[in-house]
Chains A and B, each alone.
Chain A
Amino acid sequence: MEDMSTMEDVASFRLRARAWLAENMPRIDPDAAARPPGDDDEEWTKARELQQKLHSGGFAGICFPVAYGGLGLTPAHQEAFTEESLPYQMPLLLNVPTFSICAPTILDMGTEEQKTSRIGAAIRGEEILCQFLSEPSGGSDLAGLITRADRDGDTWVLNGAKTWSTSAYAADWALCLARTDWDAPKHRGLTMFLMPTKAPGVTMNRIRQVNGSTEFCEEFFDDVVLPASAVVGEVNDGWRVASRQLFHERTAVGGGSPYVSGRGDRIASTPASDPLEIARVTGRAGDPAVRERIGAYLTTQKVQEQLVERVSRGIQGGQLPPPAASFMRLLHAEADWERNDIAVQIAGALATTGTGGAVVGVNYLMRQGASLGGGSTEMSRNIISERVLGMPREFAADRDIPFGQVKRARG
């Protein structure tokens, strides 16, 4: 953070942002048809352009340090900018995972070179970051991953497979977790790498989801060679880096990240999942049962807002441990489920055929995504109970055993 005595105050920053936004950023077109989220190369090109505009106007990377291309301002400045930005098109696609997960992890754990190059390029709108974490053989048991990185002189050679990497097809660099020591227990033999997504030996496919979207990817590594400088943090200390990354992910998913600029994830902003919009379009706003459901939806939204504020300030101030970010993640899932469910309840039969455009029921198909993406809610409850409440840990068959000796399913 900048020296407080020379920092521009929030009110003056807000006024400057308001004037600049009006002058420079394109307004949102309320009649534009909603696109399937993240599928479109054009959308990513557009996001890069919008980010470049923010950067040239001096409003990019508001909470990132000046040394790495940011503005070094406070979350209050970011919040003011976000509020002012609502009527305008913003590079929302870059918020998750680039700015709220990957860049903060590099900021916390990376080398000077990694911080200067990757964070700076992301803020300038030149590069997009993604995560290579989950594997076909393991999601919740992330530390049990089997993608390997073997040392070869001054370089590392990666072999294995990753999956569920959000918008990796649009990204330039990835944070990739791989096993570097098979004789250590599972958490102690991992290393985090920063790798180009288009490195020789990387094969990437897009995964088609139940709603037709293809924003997730899977990757296969065949002798991908990385330099020693690709290591983030220490060799065999990758779990510490990943823990930081997961903390940022839970915070981002829960809506508490100070590195997010602009509001609305791409899905929540589509009319097909907004209960208020559905009540309006279907003409059901007068029904008392609909009114109560709308009230339930609004209650959860507001409670979520208050919880995020309480928990994120608690973590920043050190009164709550970082694993408490799981509260935000958990409530986000419950809120998302409720929004999807209420949307279908209000739409009724129209959920099956469309409410004058988007089909509510198709959005509903992604309901479980909220409680799986970014770590399952079962894992969140484990984290809350074991690491915030201090309850006894569950038995694990692979604890403290050299990873190479752990029995694993083949396949």
Chain B
Amino acid sequence: MEHDLSPEANELRDTVRAFLERRSPEASVREVIESGISVDPEVWRQMAGQLGLQGLLVPESLGGQGTTFSEMSVVLEELGRALLPGPFVSSAVLAATALLAAGEDPLARELLGGIATGETVAAVVFARGLTGEPDESTVVATPSDGGWELRGRVRTVLDGGCAGTLLVVAPAGEGLGLFAAEAGADGVEVVPLQTLDLTREAARVEFAGTPARRIGGDFTDGEQTVLAAGAAAMAAEAAGATQRVLELAVEYAGVREQFGRPIGSFQAVKHLCADIFAIAESATAVARHAARAIATGDGSVEAASLAKAYTSEKCVDAAEMAAQVFGGIGFTWEHPVHLYLRRITAAAQYFGTAGHHRTRLGELIGLAVAAV
């Protein structure tokens, strides 16, 4: 029972942790990685069917759970902790948030219903903000035959290889629009990329006159909402992963002996563990703060930036310190610490680096104050 979570969120956390320990232990995660599939279809089906996780953010009227981002954030902590592979963040967090932000639209309702059952797997193609590259996306939408057509390429689409539906944010006349395209449609080329994080795939996607349907009106604000959700999601996953890295490091320091004593009795080692613990606690506190802000809509952009600025720097530090505790064994493929280092380091780069968010916070709050 954690005091900064509601009783429902506590229960959800316990349920998801027990489920993942049973259905997706490290050995299963490694099987998914080795086999080259991006997700275990049976685990995915049970997550949706038995636990309703893909539908957490989807309203009950559309077949979802209608919970808030606070519950979602707790689930994301667990997914980070268990290194669950698959497009959960893309489909259940980013796509769901995008569709909800786009406003009332029959297609949005249909897609949200599909996301909740897990049958629809959607990925979001961002116009900007995922990688921070200056020409992240060259995709533009133009009207065509009463519908729309997409042209251009995007260097990085998270889960682009396994998604059936692509939700594309692209300039459309003045401003931005949100467009739905089928990944298997004419003129879509999806090129899988090698990824640092073996549990989250990514692809380069090219559109050559791909037919698409527009959802809602101007999506300029909508994209910011989705980017904030992405930042908060990465923060929650990193916090959960860091909690687990701490447990592994402490356990190892208690059994590994040198000079006739457990290495965990040496200050140099136990201080590393204390620092990892302090980071794990701070990361959890700040990720949950961001989730509450998104749930209530109060200061969500600032809170998400804050969580991302902290976790992108410090959770990486924590994973590095853990690798130091493990010594040589941490360099072996068989040891899990590199899987965490990969996931945490990759999460640190998406939706804005620590430096990006610090500068933004400096502008959002700091200079407003300094200008007075």
In contact, A391 and B264 (Cβ under 8 angstroms): yes
In contact, B4 and A313 (Cβ under 8 angstroms): yes
Which residues 309-341 of A have a CB within 8 angstroms of B?
309-311, 313-314, 317, 319, 327, 330-331
Q: Which residues of A contact B372 (CB under 8 A)?
A: 280
**The one of B266, B306, B366, B369 that contacts A291, using a Cβ cutoff of 8 Å:** B366
If A291-B366, A294-B362, A319-B1 touch, whether A392 touches B265 (CB-CB below 8 Å) is yes
Q: Which residues of A contact B361 (CB under 8 A)?
A: 294-295, 298-299
In contact, B270 and A381 (Cβ under 8 angstroms): yes
**Assembled-state Cα–Cα distance A152/B288 (Å):** 58
Q: Which residues of B contact A317 (CB under 8 A)?
A: 3
Which residues 248-285 of B have a CB within 8 angstroms of A?
250, 253-254, 261-262, 264-267, 270-271, 273-275, 277-278, 281-282, 284-285
**The one of A297, A314, A330 that contacts B3, using a Cβ cutoff of 8 Å:** A314
In contact, B366 and A295 (Cβ under 8 angstroms): yes
Give min CB distance, B307 to chain A, whole Å. Answer: 9
Which residues 4-30 of B have a CB within 8 angstroms of A?
4
**Assembled-state Cα–Cα distance A306/B287 (Å):** 10
Which among B4, B361, B362 has the greatest number of chain A C-beta atoms within 10 A? B362
Q: Which residues of A contact B264 (CB under 8 A)?
A: 385, 391-392
**Assembled-state Cα–Cα distance A394/B274 (Å):** 14
In contact, B357 and A295 (Cβ under 8 angstroms): yes
A288 touches B (CB below 8 Å): yes
If A291-B367, A382-B270 touch, whether A310 touches B359 (CB-CB below 8 Å) is no
If A291-B362, A386-B270 touch, whether A285 touches B278 (CB-CB below 8 Å) is no
**Assembled-state Cα–Cα distance A298/B363 (Å):** 11
A296 touches B (CB below 8 Å): yes
If A306-B286, A317-B3, A391-B265 touch, whether A295 touches B309 (CB-CB below 8 Å) is yes
**The one of B3, B281, B363, B365 that contacts A307, using a Cβ cutoff of 8 Å:** B281
The size bracket of the interface on B is 35 or more
In contact, A385 and B281 (Cβ under 8 angstroms): no
A174 touches B (CB below 8 Å): no
**The one of A291, A292, A303, A389 that contacts B277, using a Cβ cutoff of 8 Å:** A389
**Assembled-state Cα–Cα distance A279/B271 (Å):** 35
A25 touches B (CB below 8 Å): no
Which among B3, B261, B361, B370 has the greatest number of chain A C-beta atoms within 10 A? B370
**The one of A302, A306, A313, A394 that contacts B267, using a Cβ cutoff of 8 Å:** A394
B153 touches A (CB below 8 Å): no
Interface string of A86-127 (1 = CB under 8 A from B): 000000000000000000000000000000000000000000
Q: Which residues of A contact B310 (CB under 8 A)?
A: 299-300, 303
**Assembled-state Cα–Cα distance A72/B357 (Å):** 42
Which among A331, A380, A385 has the greatest number of chain B C-beta atoms within 10 A? A385
Q: Which residues of A contact B270 (CB under 8 A)?
A: 381-382, 385-386, 389, 391, 394
**The one of A276, A279, A296, A331 that contacts B358, using a Cβ cutoff of 8 Å:** A296
In contact, B309 and A299 (Cβ under 8 angstroms): yes
**The one of A294, A306, A392 that contacts B367, using a Cβ cutoff of 8 Å:** A294
B355 touches A (CB below 8 Å): yes
**Assembled-state Cα–Cα distance A296/B355 (Å):** 8
Which residue of the partner chain B has the closest CB to A385? B270
Which residue of the partner chain A has the closest CB to B1? A319
Which residue of the partner chain A has the closest CB to B246? A389
**The one of A302, A310, A330 that contacts B284, using a Cβ cutoff of 8 Å:** A310
In contact, A385 and B271 (Cβ under 8 angstroms): yes
Q: Which residues of A contact B267 (CB under 8 A)?
A: 378, 381-382, 394
Q: Which residues of B contact A303 (CB under 8 A)?
A: 282, 285-286, 306, 310
Which residue of the partner chain B has the closest CB to A313? B3
Which residue of the partner chain A has the closest CB to B270? A385
Which among B1, B4, B254, B285 has the greatest number of chain A C-beta atoms within 10 A? B285
A293 touches B (CB below 8 Å): yes
Give min CB distance, A343 to chain B, whole Å. Answer: 13
**Assembled-state Cα–Cα distance A390/B254 (Å):** 9
Which among B267, B270, B310 has the greatest number of chain A C-beta atoms within 10 A? B270
A388 touches B (CB below 8 Å): yes
Which residues 333-372 of B have a CB within 8 angstroms of A?
355, 357-363, 365-367, 369-372
If A295-B309, A384-B274, A388-B277 touch, whether A307 touches B362 (CB-CB below 8 Å) is no
If A291-B362, A392-B254 touch, whether A385 touches B282 (CB-CB below 8 Å) is no
Q: Which residues of B contact A311 (CB under 8 A)?
A: 281, 285
In contact, A319 and B271 (Cβ under 8 angstroms): no
Which among B254, B275, B278, B357 has the greatest number of chain A C-beta atoms within 10 A? B278
Q: Which residues of A contact B289 (CB under 8 A)?
A: 302, 306
In contact, B285 and A391 (Cβ under 8 angstroms): no
**The one of A280, A288, A296, A309 that contacts B285, using a Cβ cutoff of 8 Å:** A309
**Assembled-state Cα–Cα distance A307/B277 (Å):** 12
In contact, B274 and A385 (Cβ under 8 angstroms): yes
Give min CB distance, A177 to chain B, whole Å. Answer: 25
In contact, A307 and B285 (Cβ under 8 angstroms): yes
Give min CB distance, B305 to chain A, whole Å. Answer: 8
Interface string of B76-90 (1 = CB under 8 A from A): 000000000000000
Give min CB distance, B87 to chain A, whole Å. Answer: 30
A410 touches B (CB below 8 Å): no
**Assembled-state Cα–Cα distance A302/B366 (Å):** 12
Which residues 212-267 of B have a CB within 8 angstroms of A?
250, 253-254, 261-262, 264-267
**Assembled-state Cα–Cα distance A127/B357 (Å):** 47
In contact, B274 and A380 (Cβ under 8 angstroms): yes
In contact, B274 and A381 (Cβ under 8 angstroms): yes
Q: Which residues of B contact A293 (CB under 8 A)?
A: 358, 362
If A319-B1, A392-B254, A392-B261 touch, whether A299 touches B278 (CB-CB below 8 Å) is no
In contact, B271 and A276 (Cβ under 8 angstroms): no
**Assembled-state Cα–Cα distance A381/B270 (Å):** 7
In contact, A394 and B266 (Cβ under 8 angstroms): yes
If A378-B271, A391-B264 touch, whether A295 touches B282 (CB-CB below 8 Å) is no
**The one of A285, A306, A382, A394 that contacts B370, using a Cβ cutoff of 8 Å:** A285
Interface string of A276-290 (1 = CB under 8 A from B): 110110000100101
Q: List 28 A-B contacts (CB under 8 A).
A: A276-B369, A279-B370, A280-B371, A285-B370, A288-B359, A292-B355, A294-B366, A294-B370, A295-B309, A295-B357, A296-B309, A298-B362, A298-B365, A302-B289, A302-B306, A311-B285, A327-B278, A381-B270, A381-B275, A382-B270, A384-B277, A385-B270, A389-B250, A389-B277, A390-B250, A391-B250, A391-B264, A391-B273
Beyond A299-B306, A392-B261, 13 additional pairs, beta carbon < 8 A: A293-B358, A303-B306, A311-B281, A313-B3, A314-B4, A385-B264, A385-B277, A386-B270, A389-B277, A391-B254, A391-B264, A395-B261, A395-B265
